[in-house]
Amino acid sequence: MEFKESVSNTFRRGDSASVEVDRLELNRLILAGTNQDFEDLPARTQQLHFQVLEEFMERKIGIRKLDQDILKTLGLFTSKGEYNHAAELLADENTFPGIDIIRFGASIDEIRERKRIEHVSLLTQYSETLQLFRTQYEYEKIAGAERRLVETVPEKAMREALANSLVHRTWDARTPIHIGFFPDRIEITSPGGLPEGLSKDEYLYHRISILRNPKIANVFYRLGYIESFGTGVQRILDAYAASRVRPDFFITANAVRITLPVFEAVPKLTQDEMVILQAMPDDRLLSRKEIEEQTDFTKVKVIRLLNGLVQKKVIQKTGSGRGTKYMKR
Protein backbone atom coordinates (compact mmCIF):
# COMPACT_ATOMS: atom_id res chain seq x y z
CA MET A 1 0.00 0.00 0.00
CA GLU A 2 1.42 3.40 -0.99
CA PHE A 3 1.08 6.54 1.14
CA LYS A 4 1.71 10.17 0.28
CA GLU A 5 1.37 13.35 2.31
CA SER A 6 0.18 16.81 1.38
CA VAL A 7 0.74 19.87 3.55
CA SER A 8 -2.11 18.98 5.90
CA ASN A 9 -3.66 15.77 4.61
CA THR A 10 -2.62 12.16 4.15
CA PHE A 11 -3.78 9.92 1.29
CA ARG A 12 -3.67 6.22 0.57
CA ARG A 13 -3.64 4.74 -2.90
CA GLY A 14 -6.93 2.95 -3.60
CA ASP A 15 -7.78 0.80 -6.59
CA SER A 16 -8.05 3.73 -8.98
CA ALA A 17 -7.48 6.94 -7.02
CA SER A 18 -5.89 8.51 -3.96
CA VAL A 19 -8.26 8.42 -0.98
CA GLU A 20 -7.88 10.84 1.92
CA VAL A 21 -7.56 9.24 5.35
CA ASP A 22 -8.10 10.84 8.74
CA ARG A 23 -5.62 10.75 11.61
CA LEU A 24 -7.32 7.78 13.31
CA GLU A 25 -7.23 5.66 10.16
CA LEU A 26 -3.64 6.69 9.51
CA ASN A 27 -2.60 5.58 12.99
CA ARG A 28 -4.30 2.23 12.43
CA LEU A 29 -2.58 1.76 9.09
CA ILE A 30 0.80 2.53 10.63
CA LEU A 31 0.18 0.00 13.42
CA ALA A 32 -0.90 -2.64 10.91
CA GLY A 33 2.25 -1.96 8.91
CA THR A 34 4.41 -2.64 11.99
CA ASN A 35 2.37 -5.71 12.99
CA GLN A 36 1.13 -4.10 16.20
CA ASP A 37 -2.26 -3.65 17.84
CA PHE A 38 -3.43 -0.52 19.65
CA GLU A 39 -3.24 -2.41 22.93
CA ASP A 40 0.54 -2.86 22.37
CA LEU A 41 1.29 0.87 22.57
CA PRO A 42 2.62 2.42 25.81
CA ALA A 43 0.00 3.40 28.37
CA ARG A 44 -0.67 7.10 28.88
CA THR A 45 0.40 6.73 32.49
CA GLN A 46 2.77 4.24 34.06
CA GLN A 47 1.29 4.68 37.55
CA LEU A 48 -1.06 1.70 37.34
CA HIS A 49 -2.56 -0.51 40.04
CA PHE A 50 -4.18 -3.92 39.57
CA GLN A 51 -6.15 -4.73 42.72
CA VAL A 52 -9.29 -5.53 40.71
CA LEU A 53 -7.41 -7.82 38.33
CA GLU A 54 -5.75 -9.54 41.28
CA GLU A 55 -9.11 -10.14 42.99
CA PHE A 56 -10.60 -11.61 39.82
CA MET A 57 -7.55 -13.81 39.21
CA GLU A 58 -7.69 -15.15 42.77
CA ARG A 59 -11.43 -15.81 42.68
CA LYS A 60 -11.50 -17.43 39.25
CA ILE A 61 -8.18 -19.27 38.89
CA GLY A 62 -6.59 -19.23 42.34
CA ILE A 63 -3.72 -16.78 41.73
CA ARG A 64 -3.28 -15.00 45.06
CA LYS A 65 -0.68 -12.39 44.15
CA LEU A 66 -0.01 -10.61 40.87
CA ASP A 67 3.71 -10.07 40.38
CA GLN A 68 5.73 -8.70 37.49
CA ASP A 69 6.23 -12.15 35.98
CA ILE A 70 2.49 -12.83 35.82
CA LEU A 71 1.83 -9.40 34.32
CA LYS A 72 4.49 -10.10 31.71
CA THR A 73 2.93 -13.50 30.98
CA LEU A 74 -0.37 -11.72 30.38
CA GLY A 75 1.40 -9.47 27.86
CA LEU A 76 0.85 -6.20 29.75
CA PHE A 77 4.27 -4.70 29.00
CA THR A 78 5.82 -3.24 25.85
CA SER A 79 9.12 -4.54 24.52
CA LYS A 80 10.77 -1.64 26.39
CA GLY A 81 9.30 -2.69 29.73
CA GLU A 82 6.53 -0.08 29.91
CA TYR A 83 2.89 -0.80 30.72
CA ASN A 84 0.87 -0.94 27.49
CA HIS A 85 -2.71 0.05 26.69
CA ALA A 86 -3.93 -3.46 27.53
CA ALA A 87 -2.50 -3.00 31.03
CA GLU A 88 -4.15 0.41 31.37
CA LEU A 89 -7.52 -0.96 30.32
CA LEU A 90 -7.27 -3.69 32.97
CA ALA A 91 -5.91 -1.37 35.67
CA ASP A 92 -8.10 -0.13 38.53
CA GLU A 93 -8.25 3.33 36.94
CA ASN A 94 -7.69 4.48 33.36
CA THR A 95 -8.49 7.29 30.95
CA PHE A 96 -10.57 5.29 28.48
CA PRO A 97 -14.30 5.60 27.82
CA GLY A 98 -16.37 2.83 29.33
CA ILE A 99 -20.02 1.82 29.08
CA ASP A 100 -23.01 4.15 28.84
CA ILE A 101 -26.19 2.37 30.00
CA ILE A 102 -29.66 3.83 29.56
CA ARG A 103 -32.87 2.20 30.76
CA PHE A 104 -35.75 3.30 28.56
CA GLY A 105 -39.47 3.28 29.17
CA ALA A 106 -42.09 2.85 26.47
CA SER A 107 -39.98 4.80 23.95
CA ILE A 108 -36.50 6.27 23.51
CA ASP A 109 -37.94 9.61 24.66
CA GLU A 110 -38.63 8.12 28.10
CA ILE A 111 -35.37 7.70 30.01
CA ARG A 112 -35.90 5.97 33.34
CA GLU A 113 -32.29 5.62 34.45
CA ARG A 114 -28.80 6.30 33.19
CA LYS A 115 -25.44 5.03 34.40
CA ARG A 116 -21.94 5.51 33.01
CA ILE A 117 -19.25 3.07 34.07
CA GLU A 118 -15.99 4.64 32.92
CA HIS A 119 -12.31 5.16 33.76
CA VAL A 120 -12.23 1.84 35.61
CA SER A 121 -11.00 -1.68 34.84
CA LEU A 122 -12.73 -3.59 32.05
CA LEU A 123 -13.44 -6.24 34.68
CA THR A 124 -15.28 -3.66 36.81
CA GLN A 125 -17.24 -2.56 33.76
CA TYR A 126 -18.16 -6.17 33.04
CA SER A 127 -19.28 -7.05 36.58
CA GLU A 128 -21.18 -3.81 37.29
CA THR A 129 -23.06 -4.02 33.99
CA LEU A 130 -24.11 -7.58 34.77
CA GLN A 131 -25.32 -6.53 38.21
CA LEU A 132 -27.53 -3.85 36.66
CA PHE A 133 -28.73 -6.34 34.04
CA ARG A 134 -29.86 -8.73 36.77
CA THR A 135 -31.97 -6.07 38.47
CA GLN A 136 -33.87 -5.48 35.20
CA TYR A 137 -34.16 -8.88 33.52
CA GLU A 138 -34.11 -11.47 36.32
CA TYR A 139 -36.48 -12.18 39.17
CA GLU A 140 -37.32 -15.00 41.56
CA LYS A 141 -40.58 -16.92 41.27
CA ILE A 142 -42.00 -18.98 44.11
CA ALA A 143 -43.80 -22.17 43.12
CA GLY A 144 -44.99 -24.11 46.15
CA ALA A 145 -41.99 -24.74 48.37
CA GLU A 146 -39.50 -23.95 45.61
CA ARG A 147 -37.95 -20.67 44.60
CA ARG A 148 -36.49 -20.43 41.10
CA LEU A 149 -34.72 -17.76 39.10
CA VAL A 150 -36.48 -16.50 35.97
CA GLU A 151 -34.38 -14.87 33.24
CA THR A 152 -36.40 -12.73 30.85
CA VAL A 153 -33.21 -12.30 28.80
CA PRO A 154 -30.81 -15.26 29.00
CA GLU A 155 -27.84 -14.25 31.16
CA LYS A 156 -25.62 -16.55 29.12
CA ALA A 157 -26.35 -14.47 26.02
CA MET A 158 -25.86 -11.19 27.91
CA ARG A 159 -22.52 -12.33 29.33
CA GLU A 160 -21.25 -13.36 25.92
CA ALA A 161 -22.43 -10.21 24.13
CA LEU A 162 -21.04 -7.95 26.87
CA ALA A 163 -17.65 -9.69 27.00
CA ASN A 164 -17.36 -9.56 23.23
CA SER A 165 -18.17 -5.84 23.17
CA LEU A 166 -15.33 -5.17 25.62
CA VAL A 167 -12.83 -7.54 24.03
CA HIS A 168 -13.40 -6.74 20.36
CA ARG A 169 -14.20 -3.03 20.27
CA THR A 170 -11.78 -0.41 18.90
CA TRP A 171 -10.27 1.27 21.93
CA ASP A 172 -8.63 4.07 19.95
CA ALA A 173 -12.13 5.46 19.27
CA ARG A 174 -12.95 7.77 22.18
CA THR A 175 -16.58 6.79 22.49
CA PRO A 176 -18.26 4.47 24.99
CA ILE A 177 -20.05 1.21 24.44
CA HIS A 178 -23.77 2.03 24.42
CA ILE A 179 -26.23 -0.35 26.08
CA GLY A 180 -29.96 0.24 25.92
CA PHE A 181 -32.25 -1.57 28.34
CA PHE A 182 -35.75 -1.68 26.81
CA PRO A 183 -38.87 -3.44 28.12
CA ASP A 184 -38.69 -5.96 25.26
CA ARG A 185 -34.95 -6.12 24.45
CA ILE A 186 -31.35 -5.13 25.15
CA GLU A 187 -29.23 -3.37 22.54
CA ILE A 188 -25.42 -3.43 22.86
CA THR A 189 -23.54 -1.21 20.41
CA SER A 190 -19.76 -1.28 20.42
CA PRO A 191 -17.47 1.06 18.44
CA GLY A 192 -15.66 -0.40 15.46
CA GLY A 193 -16.94 -2.68 12.73
CA LEU A 194 -15.51 -6.11 12.08
CA PRO A 195 -11.70 -6.48 12.07
CA GLU A 196 -9.94 -6.21 8.72
CA GLY A 197 -10.16 -9.51 6.85
CA LEU A 198 -13.32 -10.79 8.59
CA SER A 199 -16.56 -10.76 6.58
CA LYS A 200 -20.05 -10.56 8.04
CA ASP A 201 -20.87 -14.12 6.95
CA GLU A 202 -17.68 -15.45 8.54
CA TYR A 203 -18.49 -13.61 11.77
CA LEU A 204 -22.08 -14.84 11.93
CA TYR A 205 -21.94 -18.35 10.52
CA HIS A 206 -18.44 -19.79 10.33
CA ARG A 207 -17.01 -19.39 13.84
CA ILE A 208 -14.00 -17.48 12.54
CA SER A 209 -12.38 -14.97 14.90
CA ILE A 210 -9.78 -12.30 14.18
CA LEU A 211 -8.78 -10.78 17.50
CA ARG A 212 -8.57 -7.01 17.56
CA ASN A 213 -7.27 -7.00 21.16
CA PRO A 214 -5.61 -10.39 21.69
CA LYS A 215 -4.06 -9.55 25.07
CA ILE A 216 -7.36 -8.41 26.57
CA ALA A 217 -9.08 -11.41 24.97
CA ASN A 218 -6.50 -13.71 26.57
CA VAL A 219 -7.24 -12.32 30.06
CA PHE A 220 -11.00 -12.73 29.58
CA TYR A 221 -10.40 -16.25 28.28
CA ARG A 222 -8.25 -17.20 31.29
CA LEU A 223 -10.95 -15.88 33.62
CA GLY A 224 -13.63 -17.92 31.83
CA TYR A 225 -15.63 -14.95 30.56
CA ILE A 226 -15.21 -15.99 26.95
CA GLU A 227 -14.69 -19.50 25.64
CA SER A 228 -12.85 -20.68 22.54
CA PHE A 229 -12.45 -17.80 20.11
CA GLY A 230 -14.94 -17.60 17.27
CA THR A 231 -17.85 -19.24 19.14
CA GLY A 232 -19.41 -16.12 20.66
CA VAL A 233 -22.21 -15.66 18.13
CA GLN A 234 -23.15 -19.34 18.26
CA ARG A 235 -23.26 -19.28 22.08
CA ILE A 236 -25.61 -16.31 21.98
CA LEU A 237 -27.87 -18.10 19.48
CA ASP A 238 -27.75 -21.31 21.53
CA ALA A 239 -29.12 -19.39 24.54
CA TYR A 240 -32.24 -18.70 22.45
CA ALA A 241 -32.66 -22.25 21.11
CA ALA A 242 -35.99 -22.65 22.93
CA SER A 243 -37.25 -19.16 22.11
CA ARG A 244 -39.42 -18.08 19.21
CA VAL A 245 -37.62 -14.73 19.03
CA ARG A 246 -33.97 -14.61 18.10
CA PRO A 247 -31.03 -12.23 18.60
CA ASP A 248 -30.22 -9.78 15.83
CA PHE A 249 -26.78 -8.66 14.63
CA PHE A 250 -26.46 -5.33 12.84
CA ILE A 251 -23.00 -4.59 11.45
CA THR A 252 -21.65 -1.44 9.83
CA ALA A 253 -18.13 -0.25 9.04
CA ASN A 254 -18.01 1.64 12.33
CA ALA A 255 -20.07 -0.36 14.84
CA VAL A 256 -21.54 -3.71 15.77
CA ARG A 257 -24.95 -3.83 17.46
CA ILE A 258 -26.29 -6.98 19.11
CA THR A 259 -29.98 -7.06 20.06
CA LEU A 260 -31.08 -9.56 22.70
CA PRO A 261 -34.89 -9.80 22.79
CA VAL A 262 -36.88 -10.76 25.85
CA PHE A 263 -37.13 -14.54 25.80
CA GLU A 264 -40.38 -16.00 24.50
CA ALA A 265 -40.60 -19.73 25.07
CA VAL A 266 -41.70 -21.84 22.14
CA PRO A 267 -45.15 -23.24 23.00
CA LYS A 268 -45.66 -26.96 23.16
CA LEU A 269 -46.61 -28.36 19.77
CA THR A 270 -48.52 -31.49 18.87
CA GLN A 271 -46.96 -34.12 16.63
CA ASP A 272 -49.18 -32.99 13.72
CA GLU A 273 -48.18 -29.35 14.24
CA MET A 274 -44.53 -30.40 14.14
CA VAL A 275 -45.15 -32.11 10.78
CA ILE A 276 -46.55 -28.85 9.39
CA LEU A 277 -43.67 -26.84 10.81
CA GLN A 278 -41.06 -29.20 9.37
CA ALA A 279 -42.68 -28.90 5.95
CA MET A 280 -42.06 -25.14 5.95
CA PRO A 281 -38.66 -23.63 5.03
CA ASP A 282 -37.16 -20.97 7.28
CA ASP A 283 -37.21 -18.07 4.85
CA ARG A 284 -40.00 -18.55 2.31
CA LEU A 285 -43.73 -17.94 2.15
CA LEU A 286 -45.89 -20.96 1.26
CA SER A 287 -49.54 -21.28 0.37
CA ARG A 288 -51.83 -23.68 2.19
CA LYS A 289 -51.87 -25.90 -0.90
CA GLU A 290 -48.05 -26.04 -1.07
CA ILE A 291 -47.92 -27.10 2.58
CA GLU A 292 -50.69 -29.63 2.06
CA GLU A 293 -48.75 -31.22 -0.82
CA GLN A 294 -45.82 -31.91 1.50
CA THR A 295 -47.94 -33.75 4.06
CA ASP A 296 -50.51 -36.56 4.04
CA PHE A 297 -53.09 -34.34 5.73
CA THR A 298 -56.41 -33.28 4.28
CA LYS A 299 -57.17 -29.68 3.35
CA VAL A 300 -59.43 -29.23 6.38
CA LYS A 301 -56.80 -30.61 8.75
CA VAL A 302 -54.02 -28.44 7.29
CA ILE A 303 -56.17 -25.31 7.67
CA ARG A 304 -56.94 -26.21 11.30
CA LEU A 305 -53.28 -26.87 12.09
CA LEU A 306 -52.12 -23.68 10.38
CA ASN A 307 -54.65 -21.61 12.31
CA GLY A 308 -53.43 -23.19 15.55
CA LEU A 309 -49.79 -22.39 14.74
CA VAL A 310 -50.72 -18.79 13.93
CA GLN A 311 -52.48 -18.48 17.30
CA LYS A 312 -49.39 -19.83 19.04
CA LYS A 313 -47.32 -17.25 17.15
CA VAL A 314 -45.06 -19.92 15.69
CA ILE A 315 -45.89 -18.96 12.10
CA GLN A 316 -47.25 -15.78 10.56
CA LYS A 317 -50.06 -15.39 8.06
CA THR A 318 -50.08 -12.83 5.26
CA GLY A 319 -52.62 -11.95 2.57
CA SER A 320 -56.21 -13.11 2.31
CA GLY A 321 -58.36 -15.42 0.23
CA ARG A 322 -56.39 -17.25 -2.47
CA GLY A 323 -53.43 -14.98 -1.75
CA THR A 324 -53.02 -16.23 1.82
CA LYS A 325 -49.53 -17.50 2.62
CA TYR A 326 -47.65 -18.67 5.69
CA MET A 327 -44.10 -18.36 6.96
CA LYS A 328 -42.15 -19.34 10.04
CA ARG A 329 -41.53 -16.55 12.52
What phi and psi, each to the nearest 5 degrees, are found at residue 37? -110, 160
Out of 3.40.50.150, 3.30.390.50, 3.30.565.60, 3.40.50.1000, which CATH number does the structure's domain 99-261 have?
Answer: 3.30.565.60
Q: How confident is the model at residue 40 (pLDDT cuts 50, 70, 90)?
A: very high
- Amino acid identity of residue 147, one-letter, is R
Give 78-122 pLDDT, tens digit per residue.
999 999 999 999 999 999 999 999 999 988 999 999 999 999 999
How far apart, in whole angstroms, are the C-alpha atoms of residue 245 and residue 261?
A: 7
Give 162-219 pLDDT, tens digit per residue.
999 999 999 998 899 999 999 999 999 999 888 777 778 877 776 767 788 999 999 9
Q: How confident is the model at residue 145 (pLDDT cuts 50, 70, 90)?
A: confident
Give 257-308 pLDDT, tens digit per residue.
999 999 988 788 899 999 998 899 877 899 999 999 999 899 999 999 999 9
What per-residue confidence (pLDDT) applies to 12?
52
3-state secondary structure of 173: coil
Lay out the sheet containing 315-318: strands in order across.
286-287, 325-328, 315-318
3-state secondary structure of 162: helix
Among 285, 294, 269, smallest CA distance to 323 is for 285
What phi and psi, each to the nearest 5 degrees, are found at residue 97? -65, 155
What per-residue confidence (pLDDT) applies to 26?
66
Q: How confident is the model at residue 222 (pLDDT cuts 50, 70, 90)?
A: very high
How far apart, in whole angstroms, are the C-alpha atoms of residue 19 and residue 6?
A: 12
What per-residue confidence (pLDDT) applies to 10?
52
Q: Output the CA torsion 236→238→239→244 (10° steps).
A: 110
- 277, containing H or E segment: helix 271-278
Q: Answer whether residue 8 shows pLDDT above 80.
A: no
Residue intervals of the chain classified under CATH 3.30.565.60 are 99-261
Among 259, 255, 261, 267, smallest CA distance to 312 is for 267
Q: Answer whether residue 142 shows pLDDT above 90.
A: no
- 70, containing H or E segment: helix 68-73
Sign, Cα dihedral of 167, 169, 171, 175: negative
Topology given in CATH for the domain delimited by 271-328: Arc Repressor Mutant, subunit A (1.10.10)
Residue intervals of the chain classified under CATH 1.10.10.10 are 271-328
Please report, rounded to a whole number, the percentage of residues in the chain having pLDDT higher than 90: 62
How far apart, in whole angstroms, are the C-alpha atoms of residue 272 and residue 130?
A: 41
> What is the rounded average pLDDT for all residues in the chain?
88
Give 50-59 pLDDT, tens digit per residue.
999 999 999 9
